[in-house]
Amino acid sequence: MVIVLRGALDENDLLNLRRPLRRLWLAAFALAVLSPPAFAQSDADFLAAKVAYEKGDRVKLAGLAPKLNGHVLHPYVEYWQLKLAIDDTAPQAVRDFLDRYPDTPLAEKLRVDWLKSLAKKSDWNRFALDYPPPSGEDPDLACYGIQYRRQRDGDAMLADAKPLWFNGQATPDSCDSLFAALISRGDLTPADRVVRLRLASEAGNVRLARAIAIELPGNDRISERDFHPANSDFQRALTAGTFTWNAGAGRELALYALERVARADAAAARPGWVKWRDKLPESDRRYGNGRLAYHAARQLNPSANDWYREAGDSPLPPEMQAWRARAALRALAWSDVLAAIDGMGDAQRQESAWRYWKARGLLAKGRTAEANALFEALSAETSFYGVLAAESLGRRFEPPKSEPLVSTTEALNAFGARPAVRRVVKLAHLDMKAESQREWQFVVRGQPDDTLLLAADYARRVALYDRAVNTAERTAARHDYSLRYMAPFRNEFDAASRSNDVDVALLYAIARQESRFSPDIVSSAGAVGLMQLMPGTARWVANQLGRKDYRSAEISDVELNTLFGAYYFKYWLQRLDRMPALAAAAYNAGPGRAQNWRPPAPLEGAVWVETIPFNETRDYVKKVLANSIIYAQAFGAAPQSLTARLGVVAPRGATVNDPIAARTE
């Protein structure tokens, strides 16, 4: 049987239902798309099977499996059984599963599990049958793959392992024998090993850095005893310069100490570094100068741009080069901004942020025609910098033309009847969000625009808003902005907006970024609902509003969640100069950080946003503010300017205390 979507509720009807009713509707929908034998199957049995799998209880799982024959999620039960017995499973059982469920996330996971099991047993003949997997390799499997090619084609294949060495994170055990062979052959030189020592140090991976250091050959080796003075007091070791500067070990230990001190406080690291750095070779000195400047830039130290100049024109990794540009931006040193962007690799230089700031730099230098050409190209992009570019040209940003797909009932029904789509809906109903999302990714990957828009419309109709938005964003040429920027729960958002005197477009922009409009979502940190409220925040807001009847179980209720989220945003908006950029940063990263990131002198809001130290928060603020402009247009509001909304960020004033944090200390 297939459900008929004729007369389906739209999102402003369906999803305004309270959580219990909404979930009952989704459950009914999930049941309606199942074949008759599945009606008798118990979701409780399936969830019990999931628990058995998670506990590694093969006996209980085997007892439950027959009850779930015909259940829409039976492939998961089969996978769990094979996974728990992967080292003892008959090859034909794996082959049968892969053949029955091709192009599914379960088949992909089983193929990788199976390959790793075979590799551990050096069963290279069977390994060759399924290698490589169709969608890439993790580092563990990549090293097993090189082991396979080495035994087949000889030691020349070891060269494939060398790029995996240059990694600041620990690598899997499957890579160890390959690295040992490369070192033994001299293909990983002492200099290569020092490079990884520095990468580990830069990544803050102390354990890996020390493991590499104590295995370095000759004068480059740093013993555990050598590490001790630096580890006990990095600052004192750097200030005193108690290193054997003329030996490789001493130089690396000094740079290690610099990294550790500068990571915490670049200004505190500088005096000791400046005092002793001339003892180092020029290349090492420039490396240290660059690392010090990088940390200073991320700490918003006003001297960071000057310190970057001391690194010279040495090539820098993309992240360090980006912060070179940001340090120059913060200093409003446009020549240095242009130089930093010109020093980027081609791919990084083409990112919208750096094309915009290059245009701004050219404009500051009087090269108006070149700047306007960059602005013109950028203004066609639906992004933070696309909006700013259009406004730089003196016009209102206009999204590309929206060409919605008129989804027929037949097309929607056929799409919904697909086994993978049925699994998506059922997994969502059972709160298996990650599994549901993975299934959906396989459904939509590689699809043309019309199919993506059909899938997005279907997801909207079955209350899977996150899937609807994300899928609509995948289209390349045909776009539907009513799906990309959907506005469910309009009554609740309008009420929250009126109650708190906050622009409803801003509230929608926050919810779109926080939850993609999934009312029941819970983050890994414990934030809940459309506006991703922490339980402590919700309790504090309830007290502020005099809601003595509030119960923690209500936190995901749409009306309450939007109201409380709007109040919390307004609270910080009022205390942070009514600047949406500062308030959005406070909402994401905490008000104390937003306040600490304020400049010592007035600074253009766009520059302030670009120099937010946290990558996640910087991206969050950009998307919230740009999306608020697009929502305002969709709602027919008076034209709004992103440039005006960003304004000028004033220096920090009185300390802003977080009352919620204070209540929990």
Q: CA-to-CA distance for 358 and 341, rounded, in angstroms?
A: 7
Q: CA-to-CA distance for 428 and 426, rounded, in angstroms?
A: 5
Q: CA-to-CA distance for 143 and 149, rounded, in angstroms?
A: 10
Contact (Cβ atoms closer than 8 angstroms) between residue 567 and residue 541: yes
> Active-site residue among 319, 514, 554, 616?
514
End-to-end CA gap in the chain? 56
Q: CA-to-CA distance for 294 and 578, rounded, in angstroms?
A: 31
Burial annotation 291-302 (CB, 10 A radius, 16+ → b, else e): bbbbbbbbbbbe
259 is an active site residue? no
Nearest to 82 by CA among 65, 104, 102: 65
Please report the DSSP string for 74-132 in residue order.
Answer: HHHHHHHHHHHTTTT--HHHHHHHHHHSTTSHHHHHHHHHHHHHHHHTT-HHHHHHH-S
Within 13 Å and on the Cβ side, how many CA atoms surround 223? Answer: 4
Q: CA-to-CA distance for 183 and 558, rounded, in angstroms?
A: 59
Q: CA-to-CA distance for 538 and 550, rounded, in angstroms?
A: 9
Read off the tokens for 305: 């741009």
Q: CA-to-CA distance for 633 and 630, rounded, in angstroms?
A: 5
Within 8 A by CB and 6+ apart from 421, the residues are 415, 443, 458
Q: CA-to-CA distance for 164 and 175, rounded, in angstroms?
A: 8
Q: CA-to-CA distance for 475 and 634, rounded, in angstroms?
A: 19
Q: Which amino acids are annotated catalytic?
A: 514
